[in-house]
């Protein structure tokens, strides 16, 4: 699945939980155009690497600011995208020894989780959670309390159905990361251009480059 198709699917799953604006409630063509415009903005801002996690976090942040059950405005989506880009989400500095430095990052993050300290919702499932588990820094059980808190916070704000949709999506993302992890680790020692199936003109698969050093 291509980068744009993956993002299209994420946005579609997000918007289907809400209602189109009243001004286009009976106009399917206008609704399709609005969806295309929202998706186009997200595609333009999303990074080429780690874009699935980026879009998931973007949706989380948009939902936190929503006060109605209607689709977010184009301007709101663009503003949220720009804010997330400025935060440098998923950006990685050039490290002298990436493996040592990254392990230290994940160790600190795991310690915070096990101590019950607050962490970003985005690290509870997916790339970073899998890295911590595979490095034996914590277990799925250690994440349970934070995951439960995130679920009930969403349930209180958006209702049980929306919370379950969010949780199901995050679990699916996490399982996919777990399934890909061993393959990606095995490729870390191979120069990027020499990796099997790599093409500089081909969009990265979700998560894969998020694991690569």
Per-residue model confidence as pLDDT tens digits over 101-118: 456 778 888 998 999 888
Same domain, 78 and 153: no
Closest Cα to residue 60, out of 10, 117, 24, 108? 10
> From CA 114, how far away is CA 37, in angstroms rounded?
41
- Structure confidence at residue 9 (pLDDT): 87
> From CA 72, how far away is CA 69, in angstroms rounded?
9
- Give the domain-ending residue among 90, 114, 142: 90
Closest Cα to residue 3, out of 36, 43, 57, 30? 43
Same domain, 86 and 97: no
Question: The tokens of 15 are what?
Answer: 């918007």
Question: The tokens of 203 are what?
Answer: 């969009």
Give the model confidence (pLDDT) of 139-156 as tens digits: 999 999 999 998 998 888
Closest Cα to residue 165, out of 10, 40, 47, 27? 10
Domain hosting 198: range is 92-213
Residue 70: beta bridge partners? 19
Q: Which is more confident, 122 or 23? A: 23
Q: Which is more confident, 90 or 92? A: 90
Question: Is the pLDDT reported for residue 120 higher than 70?
Answer: yes
Same domain, 81 and 184: no
184 — pLDDT class (breaks 50, 70, 90): low
Same domain, 85 and 137: no
Q: Which of 151-155, 177-181, 192-196 has the highest mean pLDDT?
A: 151-155
> From CA 122, how far away is CA 144, in angstroms rounded?
14
Give the model confidence (pLDDT) of 43-56 as tens digits: 999 988 778 878 88
3-class DSSP string for 58-123:
HHHHHHHHCCCCECCCHHHHHHHHHHHHHCCCCCCCCCCCHHHHHHHHHHHHHHHHHCCCCCCHHH
Same domain, 99 and 86: no
Same domain, 17 and 52: yes
């Amino acid at each position: 699945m291509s980068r744009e198709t993956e993002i299209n699917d994420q946005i579609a799953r997000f918007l289907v939980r809400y209602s189109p604006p009243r001004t286009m409630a009976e106009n399917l063509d206008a609704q399709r155009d609005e969806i295309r415009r929202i998706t186009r903005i997200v595609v333009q801002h999303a990074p080429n690497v780690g874009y699935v996690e980026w879009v998931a976090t973007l949706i989380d942040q948009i939902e936190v600011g929503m006060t109605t059950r209607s689709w977010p405005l184009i301007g709101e989506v663009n503003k949220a995208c720009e804010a997330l880009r400025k935060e440098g989400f998923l950006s990685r500095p050039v490290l002298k020894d990436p493996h040592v430095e990254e392990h230290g990052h994940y160790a600190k993050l795991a310690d915070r989780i096990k101590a019950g300290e607050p962490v970003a919702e985005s690290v509870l499932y997916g790339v970073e959670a899998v890295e911590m588990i595979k490095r034996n820094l914590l277990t799925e059980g250690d994440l349970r309390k934070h995951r439960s808190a995130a679920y009930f916070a969403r349930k209180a704000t958006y209702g049980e159905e929306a919370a379950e949709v969010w949780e199901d999506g995050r679990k699916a993302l996490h399982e996919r990361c777990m399934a890909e992890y061993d393959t990606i680790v095995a490729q870390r020692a191979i120069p990027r251009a020499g990796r099997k199936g790599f093409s500089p003109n081909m969009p990265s698969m979700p998560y894969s480059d998020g694991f690569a050093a």
